[in-house]
Amino acid sequence: MDADGSDIHLTEDEKQRIYKPWSYSVIIKIFGRKLSHIYLKQRLVAIWKVSEKIILIDLGHNCYIVEFLKEEKLHKTLQQGP
């Protein structure tokens, strides 16, 4: 950390350890009306035709993290999704 406390320096190993849990995740923002967490998750599964579980984390301000369990599901959704 710098003298003023503004920077945190991480090694490549530390960065990889922090990034790894989020490697199959995307951040989405919902515009328009507010949707319930359950309804949004159901709609994403239907729209993206996901056959397995996804994890939806509410970040506030209509932003969410969508976490996939497999890398290929993430890539399929990003490449072929709406």
Residue 19 lies in a domain: no
Residue 15 belongs to some domain of the structure: no
Q: Is residue 46 part of a domain?
A: yes
Does residue 2 belong to any structural domain of this protein?
no
Count of domains in the chain?
A: 1
Sign of CA dihedral 78, 41, 44, 60: negative
Would residue 9 count as lying in a domain? no
In a domain, 8, yes or no: no
Q: pLDDT (tens digit, 0 to 9) for every residue of the chain, 82 residues total?
A: 566 777 889 999 999 999 999 999 999 999 998 899 999 999 999 999 888 899 999 999 999 999 999 999 999 888 987 6
Residue 6 lies in a domain: no
| pLDDT at residue 2, rounded to an integer | 64
Does the reported pTM lie above 0.85? no
